[in-house]
Chains A and B, each alone.
Chain A
Amino acid sequence: MGGLHGVSTRRAAVTLAAGSGGRAFGIKCKCIVMADAGKASKQNQSKTFQCKNLHDYLKTLPASTLDRLYNHPTTCLAVYRELPEIGRHYVIRILFVEQPVPQAVVASWLSQENSKEHNEVTKVLKELQVWQEAPIPGGLPGWILNPIFKKNCRMALLGGGRANCIQSQLDADSKPRDIPFLDQYATERWECVLHYMVGSQQQEGISADAVRLLLHARLMKRDEEDGSPVITREGFQFLLMDTAQQVWHFILQYLDTVQEHNLDLVECLTFLFQLSFSTLGKDYSTQGMSEAMLKFLQHLREFGLVYQRKRKGGRFYPTRLALNIAAGQTSAPGDIERVGYIVVETNYRVYAYTDSNLQVALVALFCEMMYRFPNLAVGILTRDSVRQALRSGITAEQMINFLRLHAHPRMVANGPPVLPPTVVDQIKLWENERDRFNFSEGVLYSQFLSQQDFQVLRDHAQDQGVLIWQNERQRTMVVTKGGHDDVKRFWKRYNRGND
């Protein structure tokens, strides 16, 4: 199957690119895509969608937005925690220093053999506008912390300034909600969204806004026949992520659309960060929040990030989902305590102790389901079922992560490794089976008039290191796209010399 897949791609590429070829100088050259039996190529993986972490996201924001974001202590705290570990120490070391610190001095903080790490860290700090280049009096280049960042970071740490816009309630709630209740509420709300995605029976309680968001995120698409949303390939991958990642991805997509809701991006982000640094199980007041933020709050409420008893109740409780936002892709702190339900045996059987349709549906994405009992579903991992999943864009890594994440406590207790290594290896092997082709774009040179011409050009291409493939008997060769110009120029020169 893998072979067929590769060949057909090649053929498609050739026919597509044939128009751009030419016969300018005796030989014929055209752009093609070479399919080559080899290791998995990067291009292949680009279809699996990436969940950006906070750092990647912030990088995409313009500097002025970042500066506005840093105006709030909580954002600084969130950004600070996203920095690489060494970077965090750099920031601390110069947090209380008023003048610029020479770059050479900063470099000397890390021992010689880690200079590469140092360079990476400085780059990240610069990208996020955490520090800026500034000359010190002697003329040497120095680093100075972004003054806004510095001020607010200190404020978060030591106090001062004015209070956050979300404030804790002064009078006690008459019916306080405890943490288990909030966890349950958050899980319920979030699973409601997931249930909707897999199209299982429970479909109530999801608003048009949420559906629009799912469509926008390309997790679902309109069915061509009846226009009802159906789950996409990305949607399946989304389902296999852990909850914290799902929430973060979802929030990112939401932030993309805030403009449409007439909300301010910076305001929303700041509020999110404040939420993520609030205390679980505590109620906060909606007092002093703007109209726009109240609207935002309602959206968050819908996905279970905050709990509100009444819309106009004047108080809300953040849930664990909200607290995990800033953690992003990094291992979620205090993810909702959920008991794993999956047992994987070395004979490739997968037992899912659950009665939830959603969870069974997720396992069924890459397992062949065999039996269904009231509290147990049994499936088996087969080559076909895994390849089916791989075809729909789910990677082996995602499947393994999913199994590991939801492993039954018994499996965890037996571990590590949590999963039987044979099963893990086999899933990876099945994935590798499909990646036997390496696609590289190139230009095909053919119809040389003499063997000598061909050899000269081939040898030149080889010397330049741009030759991908050649066949002496057919007098054809393929060079990389980047090398095409150079080889073409050489050929022209060579021809002129011969004439």
Chain B
Amino acid sequence: MAEEVETSLMVIVVDLHTRQRYLRQQPSQLVHVLDSIMTLANMHLMLKTKNKVAIVACNAARSDFIYCDSDAIQPQPIQGQSGNTVQKQSDGQYEVFAHLETMVKQNTRKFTLDEKSTFFDDRDGESLIAGALTLAMCYINRINREKPTGEKLNSRLLIVTGCAGGASQHMAYMNVFFTAQKQNIVLDVCSLDYELGLLQQGCDITGGLFLKIPQLQGLLQYLLWVFLPEPPIRKKLVLPPPARVDYRAACFCHRNLIDIGFVCSICLSIFCKFSPICTTCNTVFKPPTSLVPKKKKKPNKGVC
């Protein structure tokens, strides 16, 4: 009985941006991806009684929970609010799992049909994954504070995305990564399409796994094999080895990955070309003409 009561919380961040390649090619594949994610969530709940799960969706306009503890199964209808109560069970599925699926579907519909989402969709914006991650970490923090004394909470994040970029949110990402590292939150990334340098860095920093899946059809198996095992168990299992992480930073002016660049001495912003005023903190620099050889050269290491 001396063993600690451990709760494992998994927060899944799902990218619902319409510009993802798989969605543009065949929008119906969203169902496949969502189904896989819901099954993963259910499997996680199935592993242990105390396990918890939350799902955050994000697109170019906003990020929001599509499943969290307030959506969890409620035994009796609360006055003036229906929907959280369990429907009559029509098949052999475990109530909690069935409930999760209904809630996720319902909330995803709400999320995508939301005015703000539809309004912004045409714009070329990036998916707000960093925002969703921040939301998820706040949630983890709250759950951590609310847990009864003497219990331990292992939390982790999983991003499922088919988007490419991320450079415009460089600062936000880095803040998230280092906060996660400090809070012992493991960040996993399942990329559906691209090798995402920035998120790879995040996985490396927090000790998580990055996997770009070769084909979308097998998404569920990849999720179950690689991302379902909890970090302590992963040590025992044979999993894909971590790829070499590209630690180059993206410059703040053109979002290019650079080896050598200019760094603002005040706020550590990175620029590929000299600029007299730092665009981030508005510090004024002298033009480098007077001291040509003493260019502010600095390897990008440790820059964030």
Contacts and interface: CB of A to CB of B under 8 A. Distances in A.
B92 A89 contact: no
Contacts of A74: 94
A162 B89 CA distance: 9
B81 interface: no
B209 to A, nearest CB: 15
B88 A88 contact: no
Contacts of A156: 46, 92-94, 97
A157 B37 CA distance: 13
Nearest to A276: B49
Contacts of B47: 81, 85, 88
A80 B42 CA distance: 13
A280 B48 contact: no
Given A74-B94, A162-B92, A333-B49, A282 B233 contact: no
Contacts of A278: 95
A357 to B, nearest CB: 25
B55 to A, nearest CB: 17
A277 B94 contact: yes
Contacts of A168: 86, 88-89, 95
A420 to B, nearest CB: 15
A246 B40 CA distance: 34
Contact of B91 (A110, A159, A331, A401): A159
A162 B86 contact: no
Contact of A242 (B1, B48, B96, B233): B1
A293 interface: no
Given A281-B76, A412-B149, A159 B43 contact: no
For the complex, would chain B's binding face be called helix, strand, loop or mixed by DSSP majority?
loop
Q: Which of under 10, 10 to 19, 20 to 34, or 35 or more describes the interface residues of A?
A: 35 or more
Contact of A86 (B48, B91, B97, B236): B236
B236 A110 contact: yes
Contacts of A265: none
Given A86-B236, A92-B43, A176 B92 contact: no
A88 to B, nearest CB: 6
A401 B93 contact: no
Among B2, B48, B94, B101, max chain A CB count under 10 A is at: B94
B38 to A, nearest CB: 9
Q: Which of A89, A167, A172, A409 has the most CB of B within 10 A?
A: A89
B1 A85 contact: no
A230 interface: no
Contacts of A158: 39, 93
Given A73-B93, A157-B93, A282-B76, A89 B238 contact: no
Interface stretch (B23-31, B129-137, B184-192, B223-231): B223-231
A447 interface: no
Nearest to A108: B238
Given A86-B233, A282-B76, A412-B150, A92 B89 contact: no
B77 A172 contact: yes
A94 B166 CA distance: 35
B98 interface: yes
A331 B5 CA distance: 7
Contacts of A89: 228-229, 233, 237
Interface string A72-87: 1110010011000110
A22 interface: no
A81 B50 CA distance: 11
A195 interface: no
A336 to B, nearest CB: 13
A277 B236 contact: no
A282 B91 contact: no
Contacts of B233: 85-86, 89
B90 interface: yes
B75 interface: yes
A49 interface: no
A277 B2 CA distance: 26
A277 B95 contact: yes
Contacts of B2: 401, 404
A325 to B, nearest CB: 11
Nearest to B98: A159
Contacts of B220: 96
Nearest to B38: A158
Contacts of B153: none
B46 A96 contact: no
A246 to B, nearest CB: 13
A405 interface: yes
A35 interface: no
Contact of A164 (B5, B92, B238): B92
A498 interface: no
A117 interface: yes
Given A155-B92, A156-B94, A170-B88, A81 B48 contact: yes
Interface in A410-456: 412-413, 415-416
B43 A155 contact: no
Given A111-B237, A114-B236, A331 B93 contact: no
7 tightest Cβ-Cβ pairs between the two chains A and B: A281-B75, A161-B92, A159-B93, A282-B75, A155-B92, A333-B49, A73-B92
19 contacts: A81-B48, A81-B49, A88-B47, A92-B224, A96-B220, A108-B238, A109-B237, A109-B238, A159-B91, A160-B92, A161-B92, A163-B90, A167-B89, A168-B89, A277-B94, A277-B96, A282-B75, A331-B5, A333-B49
Interface of B: 1-3, 5, 39, 42-43, 46-50, 73, 75-77, 86, 88-98, 101, 149-150, 220-221, 224-225, 228-229, 233, 235-238
